[in-house]
Amino acid sequence: MPEALNEPWWIHVIKAFVVVNLVLLGFAWATWLERKALGRMQLRYGPNRAGPYGLLQPIADLVKFIRKESFSPTTSISLLYFAAPVVAAFTALAAFAVIPFGAGWQIGSYDVSGRVVDVSIGLLLLFALGAVGIYAFLVGGWASSSKYSLLGSMRTAAQLVSYEVSLALSVLGVVLMAETLSLTEIVARQQETMWFVGPQAVGLIVFLVAGVAETNRPPFDLPEAETELVAGYQTEYSGMRYALFAMAEYINVITLSGLAVTLFFGGWSGPVLPGPLWFVVKLLLVVFLFMWLRATLPRLRYDQLMQVGWKVLLPVATLNAVVTAVIVVYA
């Protein structure tokens, strides 16, 4: 694609609309796929009542959340209480806008780039949006004016912030090798050389482990485990407000999977098939890995979480970044 694209603003609007709706559809039926996969792996039935093979279960869940009463505590701080789930959902969806899914196309006299928005600091912007999303979970617990919800949301925020350190360090090697923070340029650099999954294998492992913890997925799901007494926002939200929080967490899984594909697996690169199709195939494989871990691994205790986070992941991520810097400097 040329430097100056003939891409008017209304094409960006159409791409944003299409991408947001595709991500929402992907989230809906990823929940169905996960429940079916867990059922098969654990020798039980998954959803099998709503529609053929349970395919309409996500629609049934949506109707249930819409019809369910949305109560709010009488002492809650109204504006922040209502805004927290909206911010959580917005940041989750907005983060996917910087992930490229194709090289670009020429349609008539117009150029259509393979991303909603391309900024030179796309990776930094994505981490910044993730950090803002953490505030939504924290404010959601605080604005309900419940001590139990506040403590639960603080516990959730503590885990998200702590593992974001390892997550950021795990991608430093990729940044040093690509010499850019632009996700599009990182994919282009892998096309010129090789996928970074090879030289950055340690970084990928750290990225995946920290990503599982960052999205509160098993085995790092203690902030919202079923056996816990309180889980932050979950105690004071219901109906669609609760659903927005749950949707944000699941979309973060899709976003982190897309980021892993972009940083380590060449993005949309691949033979024969169109670029966007390759991106979707790789994305589905990484998302399935999250589901597989949930069906396989037991839940960790908090002392085990700290051991994995600070005593293992952080030193390994730091060592990976230092070794990569030495290789880049002396290569």
On the question of pLDDT at 256 being above 90, the answer is yes
Question: What confidence score (pLDDT) does residue 233 get?
Answer: 67
Rounded alpha-carbon distances, angstroms, from residue 266 to 23, 132, 168, 184, 280: 20, 28, 19, 10, 12
Count of other CB atoms within 10 angstroms of residue 279: 26
Q: Minimum mean pLDDT among 3-7, 69-73, 264-268: which range?
A: 3-7
Strands 105-107 and 110-112: antiparallel
Instruction: Express each pLDDT in 295-315 by its tens digit.
Output: 888 777 666 766 666 667 777
Which is nearest to 137 in space by CA: 68, 185, 88?
88
Residue 314 in domain: yes
On whether residue 21 sits in a domain, the answer given is no
Tokens, residue 20: 């947001």
The mean pLDDT value for 159-166 works out to 81
Among 75, 81, 82, 35, smallest CA distance to 54 is for: 35
Is there a contact between 31 and 130 (Cβ–Cβ < 8 Å)? Answer: no
The string of pLDDT tens digits covering residues 20-57 is 999 999 999 899 999 999 888 888 888 888 888 889 99
Residue 74's Cα: distance from chain center in Å? 33
Confidence tier at 226 by pLDDT (50, 70, 90): low
Is 10 a member of any domain? no
Residue 149 within any structural domain of the chain: yes
Q: Return d(Cα 293, Cα 310) in angstroms, integer.
A: 21
Q: Would you put residue 179 in left (φ > 0), alpha (ψ -120 to 50) or beta?
A: left
Structural domain harbouring 324: 71-330
87-96, 210-219, 223-232: which is most confident:
87-96
Local confidence band at 260 (pLDDT 50, 70, 90 cut-offs): very high
Residue 157 identity: A
Sign of CA dihedral 76, 302, 293, 122: positive
Looking only at Cα atoms, what is the longest distance across the chain? Answer: 63
Number of domains observed in the structure of the chain:
1
Q: Is 11 left (phi over 0), alpha (psi -120 to 50) or beta?
A: alpha
In a domain, 49, yes or no: no
Query: What does the pLDDT look like over 261-298, one tens digit per residue?
Result: 999 999 898 888 888 999 999 999 999 999 998 888 87
Q: Distance (Å, rounded) from C-alpha 219 to C-alpha 214?
A: 11
* Percent with pLDDT over 90 in the chain: 21
Rounded to whole angstroms, how far apart are CA atoms 92 and 15?
17
What are the pLDDT digits (tens) for 169-208? 889 889 988 989 999 999 999 999 889 998 888 889 889 9
Indicate whether 3 belongs to any domain: no
Distance CA 25, CA 29 (A): 6
Rounded CA-CA distance 257/285 in Å is 9
Q: Which comes out higher in pLDDT, residue 331 or 135?
A: 135
**In this predicted structure, what is the pLDDT of residue 219?**
80
Q: Give 232 or 165, the one with higher predicted confidence.
A: 165
Instruction: Report if residue 80 sits inside a domain.
Output: yes
Claim: this prediction has a pTM higher than 0.75: yes
Over residues 225-238, mean pLDDT: 66
Q: What is the 3-state secondary structure (H, E, C) of the chain?
A: CCCCCCCCHHHHHHHHHHHHHHHHHHHHHHHHHHHHHHHHHCCCCCCCCCCHHHCCHHHHHHHHHHHCCCCCCCCCCHHHHHHHHHHHHHHHHHHHHHCCCCCCEEECCEEECCCCCCCCCHHHHHHHHHHHHHHHHHHHHHCCCCHHHHHHHHHHHHHHHHHHHHHHHHCHHHHHHHCCCCHHHHHHHHHHCCCCCCCCHHHHHHHHHHHHHHCCCCCCCHHHCCCCCCCHHHHCCCHHHHHHHHHHHHHHHHHHHHHHHHHHCCCCCCCCCCHHHHHHHHHHHHHHHHHHHHHHCCCCCHHHHHHHHHHHHHHHHHHHHHHHHHHHHHC
Angle at CA of residue 190, ends 189 and 192, nearest 5°: 65
